[in-house]
């Protein structure tokens, strides 16, 4: 039995040594694979870090543009407010001038209306006067015509009486 145990021990020893050798060789392979994988992960990490740095640089550049555009928007808003204020004051000035002009136009219109009424009254009075003068002159003309006719009659009568007296 001693030989059996000894043989078994030798078999177990060789089996253990074989297993250790197998594990050692596979462990080295796994270690090499892990190193290769870690190297690729490190490369990816380095690429990611470089890309992140490039992105940061681009974002800083874009941030500058954003700040510039933001300032431009603020300036435009200020300019727009100034324009609105100027436009409001201009419109107030225009409305004031329009109101003033409207007052002047209304005053002129009132004065013109008064003058037109005066001219209408004068024209009406003139028409009335002309009509009255026309009637008066017509009456006077008729009176004169009658008087002339009377005078002509008297003259003819006088003529006839003078001629008759001369014939005698």
DSSP the chain: -HHHHHHHHHHHHHHHHHHHHHHHHHHHHHHHHHHHHHHHHHHHHHHHHHHHHHHHHHHHHHHHHHHHHHHHHHHHHHHHHHHHHHHHHHHHHHHHHHHHHHHHHHHHHHHHHHHHHHHHHHHHHHHHHHHHHHHHHHHHHHHHHHHHHHHHHHHHHHHHHHHHHHH-
Q: What is the pLDDT of residue 30?
A: 84
105-119 burial by CB neighbour count: b if 16+ within 10 A, else e? eeeeeeeeeeeeeee
d(CA 62, CA 85): 34
In tens, the pLDDT along 76-108 reads 999 999 988 898 888 999 999 999 999 999 999
In tens, the pLDDT along 107-153 reads 999 999 999 999 999 999 999 999 998 899 889 989 999 988 888 88
Q: What is the pLDDT of residue 45?
A: 86
Q: What is the pLDDT of residue 76?
A: 92
d(CA 144, CA 132): 18
Domain range list for the chain: 16-141
Q: What is the pLDDT of residue 65?
A: 81
In tens, the pLDDT along 3-56 reads 888 888 889 899 999 988 888 888 778 888 888 998 998 888 888 888 888 888
């Amino acid at each position: 039995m001693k030989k059996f145990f000894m043989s078994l021990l030798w078999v177990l020893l060789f089996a253990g040594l074989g297993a250790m050798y197998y594990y050692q060789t596979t462990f080295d392979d796994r270690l090499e694979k892990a190193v290769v994988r870690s190297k690729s992960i490190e490369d990816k990490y380095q690429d990611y870090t470089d890309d992140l740095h490039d992105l940061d640089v681009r974002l800083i550049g874009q941030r500058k543009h954003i700040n510039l555009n933001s300032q431009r928007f603020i300036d435009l808003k200020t300019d727009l407010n100034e324009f609105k204020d100027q436009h409001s004051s201009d419109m107030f000035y225009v409305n004031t001038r329009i109101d003033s002009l409207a007052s002047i136009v209304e005053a002129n219109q009132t004065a013109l209306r008064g003058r037109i009424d005066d001219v209408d009254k004068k024209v009406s009075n003139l028409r009335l006067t002309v009509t009255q003068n026309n009637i008066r002159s017509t009456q006077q003309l008729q009176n004169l015509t009658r008087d002339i006719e009377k005078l002509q009659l008297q003259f003819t009568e006088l003529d006839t009486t003078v001629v008759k007296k001369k014939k005698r």
